[in-house]
Amino acid sequence: MSFQTPQSQVVLSGHGLVKYYGDVVGLAGVDVAVRSGEALAVMGPSGNGKTTLLHVLAGILTPDQGEVRLGGERVDQLNDAARTVLRRRRLGFVFQDNQLLAELPADENVALPLMVDGLSRRDAIGRARAMLAQVGLAAEAGRRPGELSGGQAQRVAIARALVGEPQVVFADEPTGALDATTGSQVIDLLIGAATYRGAAVVVVTHDNAVAARCHRVLHIVDGRVSEQVGVVR
Amino acid sequence: MNPMTDLGLRFIRRPGPGGRAANLAALGATAVVALLVSFLIAGSLGLSHRSDRIGWRSADKADPASAIGAIKLDDEQRVDGHRLTVLELAVLDVGALRPNELAPPPGLDHAPKPGEVFVSPEVAKHWSSLSKEYGVEHPTGVISAKGLSSPEEFIVIRGVKTIAASEHPQYVSSWNDDVWDSRMLGLLIAVAFGITLVLFPILSLVGQAAGVAAKRREHRLAALRLAGATRAQVLWLSSVEQAVLGFAGAVIGLVGYTVLSPLIARIPLGGGRWYVSDITANWWTVLIVLAAVPVLSVVSALIGLGRVSITPLGVVRGQTRKRISVLRVGLLVIGPLILAYYGMQAALLPVLIGVGFAALAVRVIGPWAVQLIGKTLANLANGPVALLAGRRLADDPKGAFRPVAALVLSGFVTGFISVFMPPGDDNPSFHDMRIGVALLLSLVFLTVAASTAAGAVGTALDQAAPARALRRSGVPLSVIERSARVAAVVPVIGVGLPVVGFGALCGLALSGGKVLTDGNSGVLLLIGQVVAGLVLVAVAGAAGAPVLRKASAN
């Protein structure tokens, strides 16, 4: 499966991004832009800045130099509280080991970000169940993460990332803990469901099969973009 | 050196992420345990030392024919607002020995002859106001520390020729026999009773201290299993780590007790302040603490690790936790029934068993009640804070109850004691009881503070990974912290308050339904418990919040 690069507006961009960890250079001047409905894979050797780039673009870390814009708004100039709200309302996240809350059933895990944003429990659970149905887990809504398979748990995490209608979904090694078949299903679901809604997807991965499902691949080496590959087929 | 022992020692030196906070919490909690155990042992020995010096004064079972002395006590008089004990002593002829050939009573340089007056140093200071009454310008001698219960004791020992039978003299067979002073004996029984009440909070604290450190090493243990170590080897490694932490905590606790001894000696229990030497930990107390605290820590850690299966693929906990049976509630009736059956006339042991059983019931039923409350809270929640807190409580009620178990048990102790608070007159026994209650509650609250703080650190470390993910996803730290606080407060209020009532019920069962408390002291005690409980939860929150904040940061 592959995707055509969409010709839509840039939703997320980073220009001249530099990030230091003490004396260690995390990012050494990265420029990147992602369009609505586009899936971008970020690849490269371990410890070369992939996750740092994801965290900077997502407003989890602030860059030491450069700027990050989401829909034209400067993210890097927002304070921590504003970036927290921005992540909650406009971004979605999928982590390698799903990071679901073990004590909450699937529907409550998905509903939680909505409840944090002030939606009533009833409405939040309703939307969460609808989203779980879209990722094929309607029957598992009442189960806790420990009662789900790895693939199912990751689909719950995708539902949680998408339930708030985000502009961008960030995924850090989303298939890293899954077998090849399940991983393939999960990445198709993630990219398919997100881009169908017009959201951009930024995936950090080591897996060529995952990258092959994205529109573009960005290679990061020593904190710099070494190569950009468009339209993967 | 055994490679696992070597590795365990290395892990102590380099604890890894989160390990330093966990080890410090465990060390602090273990030190508090050691301090409390030192206090309980050395304090009990202090009672014995004091009794050794003054036990002869309350001896009354000697045969008059073979007695070496007859005494009469009077404590109605007051000097400068202090109760003065006047002891009239008639030294008796014993066979060939004449009175002046007898060894003197403790603290006196010779056995007092008729008309001679020996006084304590405190009385000596006020002698000018007493000299007329006793007919001597200066006392014959000042009683040394070897014959006083307390450095501030007010006592006069006056030599008399005889004490008339109509005045009901008590007869002394020896100045140094093993007879316990009645007041010290009463206190010793109260200490045994207090130890029963404080035992569960202390054991809970030991478990908490061991647990918080053990949690940090679960992943390392799994990695070791992956590297080929057997289960026995990883348990040995844990034991080494825990033993070192326990020993270090014991040393800190003993040093802390020694430093605090002069302050502890100022507690006016059992007739006044104490000589520091009375309550100084002797060498075998030190040995007991240095051995018992690490052993208890190791056993607690091994029990904790026994609950999880350490496999090469990680530490696997049961995904579907067992439901807690409602049958546990049946335990609630056993303790009160034992207490009601034996009542106030019972020997000490059945009463201790009854109280112990009631405390055990609280410990066993606590998690069930927490689970029930958690489910209710989660089902009724309309916001993320209550939902998270409720699910957390319902998912792991034992884990949720563990940090607050000591606090809940202190509620039981307070409820129990509130029925027995004596009236506010200056009866020495009542005075001792009031001081004893204050002391007992201080011990319990100290235990509780350490336990809840250690528990909060452990919980914060446990929740670090999901909390980090939540923060990255845009959930404010305040929501995570508030849910942690609610999860800590709800068991305290939801279980603690009913347990105060249960404690009072057990007290009433023992007293046969009578409230022996005079005035509002019982109510004040209960209010104090609630206030202290809330303060301690705040303390625990203060201990856990920075750890959670740091551990969940990116």
Q: Give the pLDDT confidence of A89-145 residue by residue, as tens digits.
A: 999 998 877 788 888 899 999 999 899 888 999 999 999 999 999 888 999 999 998
The β-bridge relationship of strands B82-83 and B78-79 is antiparallel
Worst-scoring range by mean pLDDT, A179-188, B1-10, B313-322, B331-340? B313-322
SS3 state of residue B345: helix
* Beta carbons of B387 and A115 less than 8 Å apart: yes
- Domain positions in chain B are 1-57+204-319, 60-172, 324-554
Report pLDDT digits (tens) over B247-285.
999 999 999 999 999 999 998 888 788 999 999 999 999
Compute chain A's Rg from CA coordinates: 17
Residue B3 clears pLDDT 70, i.e. is over it: yes
Report pLDDT digits (tens) over B435-470.
887 787 777 777 777 777 877 787 787 778 778 888
pLDDT at B307: 55
The C-alpha of B233 sits at a distance from chain A's nearest C-alpha, in angstroms, of: 29
**Cβ A205 vs Cβ A41: under 8 Å:** yes
| Owner of token pair 């202190």 | B410
Confidence of residue B424 (pLDDT cuts 50, 70, 90): low
Which residues on chain B are in Cβ contact (under 8 Å) with A53?
none
Tell me the percentage of chain B whose pLDDT exceeds 90. 17
pTM of the entire predicted model:
0.69
A 10 A CB-CB count for A182 gives 17
Rounded to the nearest 10 degrees, how much is the dihedral formed by the CA atoms of B232, B238, B242, B243? 40
pLDDT at B347: 67
Interface test with B, best of A55, A88, A103 (most B CBs within 10 A): A103
Chain B CB within 8 Å of residue A116 CB? yes
DSSP B315: E
**Cβ B44 vs Cβ B274: under 8 Å:** no
* Burial of A31: CB neighbours in 10 Å, binned 0-12, 13-18, 19+: middle
B471 → chain A, closest CA residue: A84
Report pLDDT digits (tens) over B501-520.
888 888 888 877 777 777 77
SS3 state of residue B71: strand
Q: Determine the average pLDDT of the residues in B407-424.
A: 76
What's the rounded Cα separation, in Å, for the pair B296 and B248?
Answer: 13
Worst-scoring range by mean pLDDT, A167-181, A190-204, B15-29? B15-29
Which residues on chain B are in Cβ contact (under 8 Å) with A102?
395, 466
The β-bridge relationship of strands B155-159 and B117-119 is antiparallel
pLDDT at B59: 64
CA nearest neighbour of B533 among B441, B460, B459, B439: B441
Structure tokens at B470: 């939540």
Sheet holding A10-21, edge to edge: A24-35, A10-21, A65-70, A73-74
What's the rounded Cα separation, in Å, for the pair B467 and B476?
Answer: 10
Chain B CB within 8 Å of residue A25 CB? no
* Burial of A196: CB neighbours in 10 Å, binned 0-12, 13-18, 19+: exposed
**Cβ B461 vs Cβ B22: under 8 Å:** yes
Handedness of CA B372, B378, B381, B383 (dihedral sign): positive
Q: Which helix (H) or strand (E) is A188 found in, with range?
A: helix A180-196
Task: Report DSSP letters for B173-192, one per residue.
Answer: S-TT-SPPPHHHHHHHHHHH
Cα-based distances in Å from A182 to A95, A142, A178, A179, B271: 15, 22, 6, 5, 77
pLDDT at B321: 53
The C-alpha of B403 sits at a distance from chain A's nearest C-alpha, in angstroms, of: 18
Phi–psi pair at A96, nearest 5 degrees: -55, -50
pLDDT at B209: 73
Who has greater pLDDT, B267 or B430?
B267
Residue A205 clears pLDDT 80, i.e. is over it: yes
Report pLDDT digits (tens) over B160-213.
888 888 888 888 888 876 777 778 888 888 787 777 777 777 777 777 777 776
**Cβ A104 vs Cβ A144: under 8 Å:** yes
Task: Report DSSP letters for A88-141, one per residue.
Answer: HHHEEEE-TT----TTS-HHHHHHHHHHHTT--HHHHHHHHHHHHHHTT-GGGT
Mean pLDDT, chain B, rounded, equals 80
B470 → chain A, closest CA residue: A99
